[in-house]
């Protein structure tokens, strides 16, 4: 499965609790989740195992991308695991693409080790995500996340 993974790792200059809030509070998530000039118009998240999420991303040219998913595992302040393989109430999605894991650990001096791992169902899905700009997009979003978390 390692050949189907994309990973983003950073030491963020923000407290772990603040990064956690940015991932779990809808109004905070909307401020950083996609790289600008994209924006999030809706974030309905129930961050618990089995909880559903709907995050609607909007592009500068009127594009709208609703992303539905389910949280698989949540360990407060440490880990969030989510997938698009299911939508609300464990209903299978039309096409599973990925399982995402976000992990947080203390790095000392108020900083946080942040790792986002995305596991894809196939090599083709991984290649598609790379072509979509995974590292650039998730990297810019991580910059925005850190910037916001530092202000809380």
Averaged pLDDT, 8-31: 98
Long-range contacts of 88-94 (CB under 8 A, 24+ apart): 88/52, 89/52, 90/50, 93/68, 93/69
Domain boundaries, the chain: 2-149
80-128 tens-digit pLDDT: 999 999 998 789 999 999 999 999 999 999 999 999 999 999 999 999 9
36-72 tens-digit pLDDT: 999 999 999 999 999 999 999 999 999 999 999 999 9
Reported as a pLDDT band with limits 50, 70 and 90, residue 3 is confident
CB 56 within 8 A of CB 33: no
Rounded to whole angstroms, how far apart are CA atoms 29 and 19? 10
Which is the CATH superfamily of the domain at 2-149?
START domain (3.30.530.20)
pTM reported for the whole predicted model: 0.95
Long-range contacts of 24-29 (CB under 8 A, 24+ apart): 24/80, 28/148, 28/152, 29/55
């Amino acid at each position: 499965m390692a050949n189907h993974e994309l990973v983003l790792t950073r030491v963020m200059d923000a407290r772990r609790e603040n990064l956690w809030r940015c991932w779990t509070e809808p109004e905070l998530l909307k401020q950083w989740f996609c790289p600008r000039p994209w924006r999030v118009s809706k974030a309905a998240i129930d961050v618990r195992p089995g909880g559903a999420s709907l995050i609607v991303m909007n592009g500068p040219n009127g594009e709208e991308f609703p992303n539905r998913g389910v949280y698989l595992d949540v360990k407060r302040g440490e880990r969030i695991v989510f997938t698009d393989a299911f939508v609300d109430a464990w209903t299978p999605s039309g096409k599973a693409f990925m399982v995402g894991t976000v992990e947080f650990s203390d790095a000392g001096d108020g900083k946080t080790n942040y790792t986002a791992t995305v596991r894809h169902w196939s090599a083709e899905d991984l290649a598609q995500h790379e072509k979509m700009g995974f590292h650039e997009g998730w990297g810019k979003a991580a910059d925005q996340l850190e910037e916001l978390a530092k202000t809380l």
